[in-house]
Chain A
Amino acid sequence: MRVGVIGGSGYVGSELLRLLLPHPKIELTIVTSRQNAGEFVFTVHPNLRGATQLKFTPPNISQVTENCDLVFAAMPHGKSLELVPQLLETGVKVIDMSADYRLNNPVDYDKWYRWKHTHPELLEEAVYGCPELHRQEIKDAKLVACPGCMSTATILGLAPLVKEGVIEKNRIVADVKIGSSGAGQKPTVTSHHPERAGGVRPYKVADHRHVAEVEQELNLLTEEKVTVAFTPHAVNMIRGILSTIHAYLKTPVTDKNVWKFYRSMYQNEYFIRFVKFKKGPYQLPNPKITMGTNYVDIGFEVDPRTRRIIVFSAIDNLMRGASGQGVQCMNLMIGINEKTGIDQQGFHPM
């Protein structure tokens, strides 16, 4: 299986290359970057020195499709829109890491992204690349849209409660913390070290674009309409996401009940770990422990006084929030064990 990466110079591209280079079942044949064409990959991604002598090539579509059976499009949002149909036409399978094919309803692009989708016919074909929710569809897909990082943590944290129908579906608040790599490789004023370091910056507090996919996926699990209030914060980490989700219970539940809900949905999911432990310093999910892994760590606490349940969902934004999940989807699409190449444990301490 020959695999290529279009847009391999960003952080998502970097993480894809780290996973794909040693992957035992595929051959990484081509990595494109317009601005770094001709450079060794390791000049941009120094962690890959010694792992490859590949050089970036210009983003020439016919060269890519001649050398690949499956392509990761790791372009900024909005740039995959016209690229993906060209790739699909040649018969290659595509995993798009951007948001351009995540939403099922084209109208949602007007609403949340403020641009018109020019290929709505492909939105019907695209599969939302969350294996725990769409495993069989991913196996059969030609186009997979890899979910957003904060969306992944929030959707997987909430899904069992929404599915069981035990929470009020219009009183859900996700308070999300994310590290700086989530903002991408291009520096901005807000990512400048003196501005970002040591601070906690709320941003897009009421209308973040990930809300669209969070509500889309949760609404597939229930007939009642789900509304999620979602507020992200840029915090002083490089990697990692913690989604702290507050929801209100329709009727009182015990810890045992909640364990049952989560086990019934995720008991056989290798990449989901329950973290609700009574000993040690990591009794609830902490993104630090997921660094470099494809795990989603999920824990909860019931607050009977306010009839609230608080769910914690932690991931590495570049792994489970992007490239790790992308490779998990690739493994499903090519019919191999979905853990292949992404079964690493994290660092401790770090």
Chain B
Amino acid sequence: MKKAKCPDCDAEIEVQDDVMKGEILSCPSCGLELEVTCNKGDSVELKELGIEGEDWGE
């Protein structure tokens, strides 16, 4: 497993070694949906998934 950081809450996220660019993950700490932008060597980079979410508010 490789490690990455959530760009929002900074939680450490475990990522499969063979994760592919474009895959969607979810941060187990804050729930943010994340897109894999790079998987090279030991480094996996993530960014917030830029799609409209459902409005859970009232």
Chain A residues engaging chain B, CB cutoff 8 angstroms: 255-256, 259-260, 274, 276-281, 283
Q: Which of chain B's residues 6-52 have a Cβ closer than 8 Å to chain A?
A: 8-11, 26, 29-33
* Count of inter-chain pairs, beta carbons less than 8 A: 30
Give Cα distance in the complex from A276 to B56, angstroms.
14
The answer to whether A259 and B56 touch across the interface, beta carbons within 8 angstroms, is no
| Chain A neighbourhood of B31, CB < 8 A | 277-280, 283
- B-side interface size class: 10 to 19
The answer to whether B10 and A259 touch across the interface, beta carbons within 8 angstroms, is yes
Q: Which residue of B lies closest to A281 (CB)?
A: B56
The answer to whether B9 and A255 touch across the interface, beta carbons within 8 angstroms, is yes
Show 19 residue pairs from A and B whose CB-CB distance is below 8 angstroms, ordered by the A residue: A255-B9, A259-B9, A259-B11, A260-B10, A274-B29, A276-B9, A276-B30, A277-B30, A277-B31, A278-B30, A278-B32, A278-B33, A278-B53, A279-B26, A279-B53, A280-B31, A281-B56, A283-B31, A283-B56
Chain B residues engaging chain A, CB cutoff 8 angstroms: 8-11, 26, 29-33, 53, 56
Q: Find B8's partner among A256, A280, A283 (CB 8 Å cutoff).
A: A256
Q: Is the interface of B mostly helix, strand, loop or mixed?
A: loop
| Chain B neighbourhood of A281, CB < 8 A | 56
Using known A-B contacts A255-B8, A259-B10, A260-B10, determine if residue A280 contacts B29 with beta carbons closer than 8 Å: no
| Chain A neighbourhood of B30, CB < 8 A | 259, 276-278
| Chain A neighbourhood of B11, CB < 8 A | 259
Give Cα distance in the complex from A281 to B8, angstroms.
20
| Chain A neighbourhood of B8, CB < 8 A | 255-256
Q: Which residue of A lies closest to B11 (CB)?
A: A259
Nearest 7 Cβ contacts at the A-B interface: A277-B31, A278-B31, A279-B31, A256-B10, A259-B9, A278-B32, A259-B10
